[in-house]
Structure 1
Amino acid sequence: MSMSGIQMSPECELAHARQLSKEKDVQWTLYRIDQSPGKTPEIIVDCQVSRRFCATTANAQQAEDVEKTNKQLWLDFIECLPENESRYAVFDYVQPTQSGIFKDAIRFVAWSPDNGPVKNKMIYSSTKDTFKKKLNLQKDEVFISSKCPDDIEDCYKKLAAI
């Protein structure tokens, strides 16, 4: 249980296991805190997006093409984030290695829009570390709070640099 008292539904662990599975059929998973009236608040899976790109296919491409595809996936991901509500996400990114091959890399993304309600942002902030720990996502975090082009680009660079 997190400091906010919000628990994670079992479906979250199943969704994360699916994303990490050897089939690699999930590009990203969005999680949200369900605060429906009459229910105990809990973290649930908001959506999972099917895999469109992975290291196996990347290794057969030129580095510029991999970068272009990675960037488009990031933009598609940003587009699916709600305008005024926070979300957690696990994003599968194709990362170049020093040896020149590519590997799949899981990244935790915390979305907390600047224009979102303060209470919503506080709940997500106080639950984040427990959520990450439960899914074994202790490092590799990207925080984004705006969909303005400069912020999207800065966060993409951070995603690539981790």
Structure 2
Amino acid sequence: MTFLCLQANAASGVAVNDECMLKFGELQSKRLHRFITFKMDDKFKEIIVDQVGDRTTSYEDFTNTLPENDCRYAIYDFDFVTAEDVQKSRIFYILWSPSSAKVKSKMLYASSNQKFKSGLNGIQVELQATDASEISLDEIKDRAR
């Protein structure tokens, strides 16, 4: 039998499923995943894991998982090499809120954003995006440095 502890979100009343923090921990400490997307369930009562990409997943594969007409929270572990030829990694947090998403969805994601994000310790770069150009690979590279 599995029990889920749900943390209520003060701003919007949306709970966070335990699997969200579990998957984030796997990405952050164990580096098992390249990305994780999170969504609200159909009744907007709980934030759940949407998709998980393994370490071989490309950035393009990740951006292709973001829906054109709905919001998502996303974590992306970006590896890069500095100008000094040093291998580094940055954990990105992205609030994906496309202009074409429904107003209710945009409002609930925005009002739950701070509380959800605050539970994810170790985020190094934060972005809010309303279209693909705001999270292009070039933009990610610029923000990582």
How far, CA to CA, are the matches of 1:76 and 1:11 in structure 2? 22
Contact 2:90 2:124 in 1 (8 A): no
For 1:5, the aligned partner's letter is G
How far, CA to CA, are the matches of 1:138 and 1:21 in structure 2? 12
What is the total number of aligned residue pairs between the two structures? 135
TM-score of the superposed pair, with normalisation by structure 1: 0.75
Contact 2:90 2:125 in 1 (8 A): no
Q: Residue in 2 aligned with 1:48?
A: 52
TM-score of the superposed pair, with normalisation by structure 2: 0.83
Relative to structure 2, which stretch is displaced further, 120-129 or 98-107?
Answer: 98-107
Q: Residue in 1 aligned with 2:23?
A: 15
Cα 1:137–1:158, aligned 2, differ >3 Å: closer, same or farther? Answer: farther
Contact 1:85 1:117 in 2 (8 A): yes
Shift of 1:133: 0.4
Q: Percent same amino acid at aligned positions?
A: 30
The one-character-per-residue Cα deviations of 1:14-52 (angstroms, maximum 9, x if unpaired) are: 010111123x2201000001133xxx7011101111111
Structure with the larger helix share: 1
Contact 2:80 2:89 in 1 (8 A): yes
Structure with the larger strand share: 2
* Structure 1 residue runs without a partner (length 5+): 54-72
Report SS of the residue matched to 1:16: helix
Equivalent position to 2:121, from 108, 133, 136: 136
